[in-house]
Amino acid sequence: MTNAGLEGVVVADTQISDVDGERGKLVIAGADVEQLAVATSFEGAVRQVLAAGGAAGAGPAGPITPAAIGAARAAAWELVPRLGDALDHPDGMDALRTALGHVRVPAGGPTDPAAAITAIGAAPVFVAAWSRRRAGQPPVAPDPALGHAADYLRMTLGRAAGDGAVRALDAYLVTVIDHAMCASTFTARVIASTASDLISAIVGAVGALKGPLHGGAPGPVLDMLDAIGAPAHAETWLTGELAAGRRIMGMGHRVYRVRDPRAAVLETAVRPLLSPRLELARAVEAAAAKILRDNKPDRPLAANVEFYTAVLLDAVGLPREQFAPTFAVSRIAGWSAHVIEQHRTGRLIRPASRYTGAMP
Ligand code: COA
C-alpha cells in the first residue's frame, strides 16, 4: 500500500518541537507556544531552538546572541549590491531562495551555530530589500543594534515602527519558528541527510514553503477577507468557493484535528493593534468552520496558523506579497536547528517507491 502523504510516518527523533494534533498543543524547545510567544524575543527563541537541535555552546552565555544576529544582518547588507537581478523576481520566495544562494557561511563543524546565525541574519535583509525594490524604493541598511523584528520592519517600511507593531511581529516570529516535521522541514532534513550543507537545505526548504498548501496561504487569506468585505457576505462567498471546488484558505491542517493553537496566539498578539480586519476575520472563521462542518462532517477542519498570520502581518504594515517570505524569515531558524540535529543524529533519508510501469 502506498502512503503518498507519509501521514503518521516517523522519520526522526527530535528535541526541537512537538505537535499534538488531537489536543491542539504545540511545544517548542520544551515550552508551550502560548508561553514562548509572550516570554521571549525572536532572538531568544532562536537560541532555544538551536540549543534544542544540539548546536555547540548554545547556552545563555554562548555565541547565539541578539548582537551576533544583528552582526549577521549587517554582513548580509554587504551582499545586497551583488545580488544582481535576484531581487527582481516578482515572487518574494523566488527572490529569497536566489539571494540566499549568494550567502557564504563560515566553515565549521556540523554543530557550529555560526552558519545558522549567518543565514538567519541574511533573510530579513534580503526580503526587505526585495520588498522595497518592488515598491520602487531604495533598500534600507540594517541597524545591528535593534531587535530582529524591529529592524526587519524598519528595513521594510523605511522608518522606525511603533512598539505595538514590533511586539506583534516579534510574537509572530516566535510562534512560527518551528513546527515539527512540516513539509519544508522534512525537505531540509532530506537535504541535510545526504551530508549536504546548511544553505542548500535552507534553499530547498524555501521552495517547499512557497506552495499554497504550506506557507503560501496567508496572502490568499487576505485576498479572501477583502473579497468578502463584510461579515454578512461570508456565508454566501464561502459556499460559492466550495461549490466551485476550491479550498478555503487558512482552514484545515494535515495534523491538527482541532483549531491550530497558533491561531489563538496570533489572534491575541494582533488585538492591541486594533486592526479593522480582526472582527471580519473572526466572523469569516466562524462561518467557514460551520460550512466546512456541514460539508465534511467526517473531517474536522478548523483555522490554521495562516488565518491570523494574514491579519497580523497586514496590521504591522507588511504588504501581502511579503507574508510568505516573512514566514521564512522566522522558520529559517527552525530549519537550521533541524539541519544541525539531522547532522548529529540522523542517517540518509531514502524511502522507497512502488513501480507501476511496464516491465521489460
Ligand atoms: N477547504 C475546503 N476543503 C478542505 C480544506 C479547505 N481548506 N482542507 C481540506 N479540505 C477537504 C479536502 O478537499 C478533502 O476532501 P475530500 O476528501 O472530499 O477530497 C478533505 O478535506 C481532506 O483534505 P486533505 O487534502 O486530506 O487534507 P490534507 O491533510 O492533505 O491538507 C491542507 C491539509 C492544509 C493542505 C488543507 O487543509 C488545505 O489545503 N488548506 C487550505 C490551504 C491552507 O490553509 N494552507 C496552510 C496550511 S498551514
Q: What is the pLDDT of residues 247-293, one digit of tens each?
A: 999 999 999 999 999 999 999 999 999 999 999 999 999 999 999 99
pLDDT confidence of residue 335: 98
pLDDT confidence of residue 106: 87
Average pLDDT, the chain: 96
pLDDT confidence of residue 218: 82
> Closest Cα to atom 8, ligand 1: which residue?
252
pLDDT confidence of residue 311: 96
**Known catalytic residue at 253:** yes
What share of the chain has pLDDT > 90, as a percent? Answer: 94
> Closest Cα to atom 15, ligand 1: which residue?
296
- Nearest ligand 1 atom to the CA of 242 is 2
Among 339, 335, 50, residue whose Cα is nearest residue 207 = 335
Give the mean model confidence (pLDDT) for residues 50-72.
96
Lowest-confidence pick of 110-119, 212-221, 321-330: 212-221
The rounded Å distance from CA 131 to ligand 1 centre is 30
Residue 252 Cβ inside 6 Å of ligand 1? The answer reads yes
> Closest Cα to atom 20, ligand 1: which residue?
299
Q: What is the pLDDT of residues 145-159, one digit of tens each?
A: 999 999 999 999 999
Q: What burial class does residue 339 get, using C-beta atoms within 10 Å of its C-beta: 0-12 exposed, 13-18 middle, 19+ buried? A: buried
pLDDT confidence of residue 253: 94
Residue 306 Cβ inside 6 Å of ligand 1? The answer reads yes
**2 pLDDT above the threshold of 90:** no
**240 pLDDT above the threshold of 90:** yes
pLDDT confidence of residue 110: 87
Q: pLDDT band for position 217 (50/70/90)?
A: confident
**Known catalytic residue at 306:** yes
pLDDT confidence of residue 123: 98
Q: Compute the distance between CA of residue 47 and CA of residue 315 in angstroms, rounded to an integer.
A: 27
Residue from 43, 148, 179, 253 carrying the catalytic annotation: 253
- Nearest ligand 1 atom to the CA of 304 is 48
- Nearest ligand 1 atom to the CA of 247 is 1
Q: What is the pLDDT of residues 165-198, one digit of tens each?
A: 999 999 999 999 999 999 999 999 999 999 999 9
> Closest Cα to atom 32, ligand 1: which residue?
253
Give the mean model confidence (pLDDT) for residues 326-343.
98
What share of the chain has pLDDT > 70, as a percent? Answer: 100
Among 233, 235, 305, residue whose Cα is nearest residue 267 = 305
**79 pLDDT above the threshold of 80:** yes
Residue 249 Cβ inside 6 Å of ligand 1? The answer reads yes
Question: Quick one: CA dihedral 219, 303, 278, 124, positive or negative?
Answer: negative
pLDDT confidence of residue 151: 98
Residue 248 Cβ inside 6 Å of ligand 1? The answer reads yes
Q: If DSSP codes are grouped into helix, strand and coil, which group holds residue 110?
A: coil
Among 331, 314, 114, residue whose Cα is nearest residue 208 = 331
Give the mean model confidence (pLDDT) for residues 105-133.
95
Q: Among 262, 284, 299, which residue has the most ligand 1 atoms within 8 Å of its CB, making it the best to mutate?
A: 299
Cell digits of residue 19: 505537535
Residue 309 Cβ inside 6 Å of ligand 1? The answer reads no
Residue 251 Cβ inside 6 Å of ligand 1? The answer reads yes
**CB count, 10 Å around CB of 237?**
16
**90 pLDDT above the threshold of 80:** yes
The rounded Å distance from CA 133 to ligand 1 centre is 34
Residue 19 Cβ inside 6 Å of ligand 1? The answer reads no
Residue 221 Cβ inside 6 Å of ligand 1? The answer reads no
Contacts of 231 (CB under 8 A, 6+ apart): 279, 280, 283, 284, 287
Q: Compute the distance between CA of residue 178 and CA of residue 292 in angstroms, rounded to an integer.
A: 28
Q: Among 176, 241, 301, 331, which residue has the most ligand 1 atoms within 8 Å of its CB, making it the best to mutate?
A: 301
Cell digits of residue 78: 554587504
Q: Among 253, 307, 327, which residue has the most ligand 1 atoms within 8 Å of its CB, making it the best to mutate?
A: 253
Residue from 306, 338, 341, 343 carrying the catalytic annotation: 306
Answer for the pair 68, 117: CB distance below 8 angstroms, yes or no: yes
**CB count, 10 Å around CB of 319?**
15
**212 pLDDT above the threshold of 90:** no
Q: Among 221, 246, 251, which residue has the most ligand 1 atoms within 8 Å of its CB, making it the best to mutate?
A: 251
The rounded Å distance from CA 329 to ligand 1 centre is 25
